[in-house]
Amino acid sequence: MDSNFDELIDRRGTAALKWNKYAGRDVIPMWVADMDFRSAPAIIQALTRRAQHGVFGYTDPPEELGEVVVTALERDHGWKIRNEWLMWLPGLVSGINLVCRAIGDDGDEVITAAPVYPPFLSGPLHQHRSVTRVPMRLEGTKWVWDLERLEAAITPRTKLLLLCNPHNPVGRVFTREELSQLARIAEKHDLVISSDEIHCGLVLDADKPHVPIATLGEDIAARTVTLMSASKTFNLPGLGCAFAVVPNRELRARLASAAAGIVPRVNAMGFAATLAAYRDSAEWQLALVNYLRVNRDLVLERIRGIPGLSITPIEATYLAWIDVRGLAIRDPVTFFENAGVGLYDGRVFGTDGYVRLNFGCPRSLLEQALDRMQHAVAVRGR
């Protein structure tokens, strides 16, 4: 394996969204969710080969790709899908918006649990739906869906439930039991489920396997749109390629109709990278997860050592959801930016008093960021 996750790769000057935000400032960017690692060698080779061909016309999904995804989902999650259930999309955010657009009518309600990835909160509004956020609940150190509040918040106009699993930003891998409870509620109230499983390749706890909610039974599969992509795991978010798994033919037709004319086809490079990711890069993924696991442990240990900060276990993702209420600072993001660390504000995810830190970077950079955070809090306390 010739990947070196410790290598510091200079992304400045590549128009990287993550690094551009703090151009010209000494701020380590740890906000948006991409990683500072080079992608898997097989992916880089596939892209190089595709680029060398030199003709970049409109592109269908490569013939092999459907079967490669079918095989990968069975290999990785024991999920047997069919090729014809796949719908290719230029991104998950498009997918979230598309499901909101396809399900229900103007003014209907979409329900989700907050904190959550911001497009879960904005997507319904873009599509003329309202959004009901059920606050997640801390059960000891574990973030869970508050099922009682969920059921109480469902009305006859609630048509769609947005699930994020593994969950961004709290890092939970929901258990089969938790998912079954959600599934029961969706069935009882006849809700369609949009399950964003983009982080499913980044489970850090070996004893907590990712369970696609659509595997729980035929009824649940028939009411679920599962959104996935190789982009988080293999660090390809700039290549715009994702897919929905939709076993229900009628639901597929509704999505296709909602997409007509506004959702572009996937680009040639995105397809080439996705094929190489699922077909040829499992070993790289394993090495990445091992590396992230150590980063995760470091984040937990160091954050717990900073007075005023606290953090719950991170089962998946390269994202840390940090409780900063103990600092009693009105604007924690500016505070840490002034200390040289760029974080995401919890308010964007629907919850005040938290920040999100992206630890998908070389360890030396992470250590430097954690040093800066610790120092800033210590100096402030003097």
Ligand X SMILES: Cc1ncc(COP(=O)(O)O)c(C=O)c1O
Give me the residues that bind ligand X (CB under 6 A), please: 33, 91-93, 117, 164, 168, 196, 198, 229, 231, 237, 242
All residues at 6 or more sequence positions from 264 whose CB lies less than 8 Å from its CB, including other chains: 90
Smallest gap from residue 15 Cβ to ligand X (A): 16
Instruction: Determine the number of helices (DSSP H) and then strands (DSSP E) in the chain.
Output: 13, 15
Q: Choose between 198 and 314: whose C-beta lies nearer to ligand X.
A: 198
Smallest gap from residue 58 Cβ to ligand X (A): 20
Rounded Cα distance, 295 and 301, in Å: 10
Q: Choose between 92 and 192: whose C-beta lies nearer to ligand X.
A: 92
Q: Choose between 136 and 198: whose C-beta lies nearer to ligand X.
A: 198
Specify whether the CB–CB gap between 125 and 134 falls below 8 A: no
All residues at 6 or more sequence positions from 134 whose CB lies less than 8 Å from its CB, including other chains: 111, 112, 113, 114, 145, 146, 149, 150, 153
Smallest gap from residue 275 Cβ to ligand X (A): 17
Strand 137-139 with 130-135, pairing: unpaired
Smallest gap from residue 229 Cβ to ligand X (A): 5
Q: Choose between 240 and 362: whose C-beta lies nearer to ligand X.
A: 240
Rounded Cα distance, 265 and 249, in Å: 20
Q: Choose between 5 and 120: whose C-beta lies nearer to ligand X.
A: 120
Specify whether the CB–CB gap between 317 and 293 falls below 8 A: no
Smallest gap from residue 273 Cβ to ligand X (A): 13
Q: Choose between 28 and 236: whose C-beta lies nearer to ligand X.
A: 236
Other Cβ atoms closer than 10 A to 283: 13
Smallest gap from residue 167 Cβ to ligand X (A): 8
Q: Choose between 91 and 171: whose C-beta lies nearer to ligand X.
A: 91
Smallest gap from residue 2 Cβ to ligand X (A): 27
Q: Is 365 helix (H, G, I), strand (E, B) or coil?
A: helix
All residues at 6 or more sequence positions from 314 whose CB lies less than 8 Å from its CB, including other chains: 171, 204, 296, 299, 300, 320, 321
Do you find a cis peptide bond into 166, omega within 30 degrees of 0? yes
Rounded Cα distance, 232 and 226, in Å: 15
